[in-house]
């Protein structure tokens, strides 16, 4: 297995150092994401990247989506505000549905997943860590996210940061139990 794949991991914001991330590095990550495959080349991935003072805007948007009048809105602001604040940058992930719907939605969601995996695999080249977070209220309907087009829906956020974290075990079930062999090769 490629070491890059074996070593990819989720790194959570409590381990982030607070160091800022250069714009050029973020651009490289998006360029890697953009190399993902997509059926009919619809390239349905879109990203919004929040850094510095922009991070407060993400908290505001999250609260708008959650509902400022909800009784636990303060708790939500604190919980997500803390993670956002610890991050060097947060990438909000969007599905940009092909306006012609020339492919089924699942194919475009899968393509966004491939794009995010490209970004994820690229992190080690820059000593960055992060993870995809998909709270239910964040991943709502088309047009629901503030400023999203009517054919765009949020598929979560990717917290990014330089980090100091212990190596944690990342066990997987046995791949042999996940494959069925039909016929025989060499």
Ligand X SMILES: Cc1cc2nc3c(=O)[nH]c(=O)nc-3n(C[C@H](O)[C@H](O)[C@H](O)COP(=O)(O)O)c2cc1C
110 binds ligand X (CB under 6 A): no
- Please pick, from the candidates 15, 126, 131, 162, the single residue that binds ligand X as defined by CB under 6 A: 131
14 binds ligand X (CB under 6 A): no
170 binds ligand X (CB under 6 A): yes
CB 53, min distance to ligand X, A: 26
- Please pick, from the candidates 88, 133, 148, 154, the single residue that binds ligand X as defined by CB under 6 A: 133
Candidates 22-30, 72-80, 99-107, 130-138: pick the segment binding ligand X (CB under 6 A). 130-138
- Please pick, from the candidates 37, 134, 141, 150, the single residue that binds ligand X as defined by CB under 6 A: 134
The helix or strand, by DSSP H or E, that contains position 130, with its residue range, turns out to be strand 128-133
Q: How many CA atoms lie within 13 A of 34 on its CB side?
A: 8
Instruction: Kindly state the DSSP code that residue 154 receives in the 8-state scheme.
Output: E
**DSSP calls for 144-175:** -STT--TTEEEEEEEEEEEB-----------G
- CA distances 119 to 26, 79, 100, 131, 150, Å, are 10, 25, 27, 10, 25
- Please pick, from the candidates 109, 110, 126, 132, the single residue that binds ligand X as defined by CB under 6 A: 132
Tell me if 167 sits within 8 A of 83, measured CB to CB: no
CA distance 186 to 75: 59
15 binds ligand X (CB under 6 A): no
Q: Which of residues 45-84 bind ligand X (CB under 6 A)?
A: none
Please report, as ranges, the residues that interact with ligand X according to CB under 6 A.
9-10, 131-135, 156, 170
């Amino acid at each position: 297995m490629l070491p890059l794949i074996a070593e990819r991991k989720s790194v959570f914001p409590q381990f982030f150092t607070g160091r800022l991330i250069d714009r050029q590095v973020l651009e490289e990550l998006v360029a890697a994401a953009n190399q993902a495959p997509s059926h009919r080349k619809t390239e349905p991935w879109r990203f919004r990247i929040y850094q510095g003072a922009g991070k407060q805007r993400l908290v505001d948007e999250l609260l708008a989506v959650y509902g400022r009048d909800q009784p636990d809105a303060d708790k939500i602001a604190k919980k997500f505000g803390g993670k956002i604040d610890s991050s060097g940058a947060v990438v909000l992930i969007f599905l940009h549905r092909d306006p012609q719907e020339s492919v089924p939605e699942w194919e475009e969601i899968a393509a966004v997943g491939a794009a995010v995996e490209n970004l994820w695999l690229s992190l080690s080249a820059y000593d960055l860590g992060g993870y995809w977070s998909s709270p239910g209220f964040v991943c709502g309907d088309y047009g629901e996210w503030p400023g999203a087009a009517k054919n765009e829906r949020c598929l979560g956020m990717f917290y990014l940061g330089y980090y100091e974290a212990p190596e944690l075990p990342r066990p997987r079930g046995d791949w042999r139990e996940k494959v069925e062999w039909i016929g025989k090769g060499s």
